[in-house]
Amino acid sequence: MARTLSLPYTTVWHWCVDRPEPAMFGTAVRCFRCSPAVENPTDPAAYSYLLGLYLGDGHLVTTDRVPVLRIYCADAWPGLIDACDSAMKAVLANKVQRIQKRGCVAVQSTGKHWPCLLPQHGPGKKHERPIILADWQRKIVTAHPGHFLRGLFHSDGSRFANRVTVRGRTYVYPRYMFSNRSADIMGLCQWALDLLGIAWRMNLPWSLSVARREAVATLDRHVGPKS
């Protein structure tokens, strides 16, 4: 079929395999940005988490016949893959596909309303264009900053044991790091941490650290290690 129509194989594949469910089954109704009957996201906490994942490792393709949201998750974290899958379904998706790539899985869903819910999409890399939340997004994140941070740290962050040697004695303590080249996304991470009263500092222009004991303990309650 692709050869007959002179189209890329992947385009025809999406038509045949990755078709969105009809609107009557809930896809359009669940888009609170388009349906007057829906005032809020189906699951605001899941939306905050998914937004954090998207800003870190997500990509929204709008050149296909139907938009495709893809979030890339490393093979090393199967729990993260499951959590991403669940968040997509909780927010909008009727069906989610997992496409194995080299070293990672592309968790993806088609749906014409993904651009409505993720207006930060656009051409080019995220760090080369403005990333600004809409007012309605800021309200959701303000109500669920922990879930938003969980998405950010699960995509572009890490929790590890930091070792420091002082005067011959080695100290080991947990530490969080978040790295992103987009100054706007870094600013959103800082803002969400401030909402929870979590102390942070910049160790590089594109890298943020959370290392104080009480700050790590608070972030543990919201984020925790990847699984």
What ranges do the domains of the chain cover?
A: 2-123
| Mean pLDDT value across residues 111-139 | 93
Which stretches of the chain are assigned E, i.e. beta strand? Answer: 58-61, 68-74, 97-100, 104-110, 157-166, 169-179, 201-204, 207-210
Q: Which of 32-36, 78-82, 97-101, 152-156 has the lowest mean pLDDT?
A: 32-36
CA torsion sign for 166, 168, 172, 177 is: positive
Task: Estimate to the nearest angstrom the gap between the alpha carbon of 50 and the chain centroid.
Answer: 4
Tell me what the mean pLDDT of segment 26-47 comes to: 71
Q: Phi then psi for 176, rounded to 5 degrees?
A: -105, 145
Is residue 22 over pLDDT 80?
no
Checking if the pLDDT of 41 tops 80, the result is no
Mean pLDDT in the chain? Answer: 87
User: For residue 23, what pLDDT is reported?
Assistant: 42
Strands 169-179 and 157-166, sheet pairing: antiparallel
Is pLDDT above 60 for 140?
yes
Arithmetic mean of pLDDT, 60-69: 90
Q: Is the pLDDT of residue 202 over 90?
A: yes
The CATH-assigned architecture of domain 2-123 is Roll (3.10)
* Backbone φ/ψ region at 129: left (φ over 0), alpha (ψ -120 to 50), beta: beta
In three-state secondary structure terms, 62 is: coil
**pLDDT band of 166, cuts 50, 70, 90:** confident
- What is the pLDDT at residue 55? 97
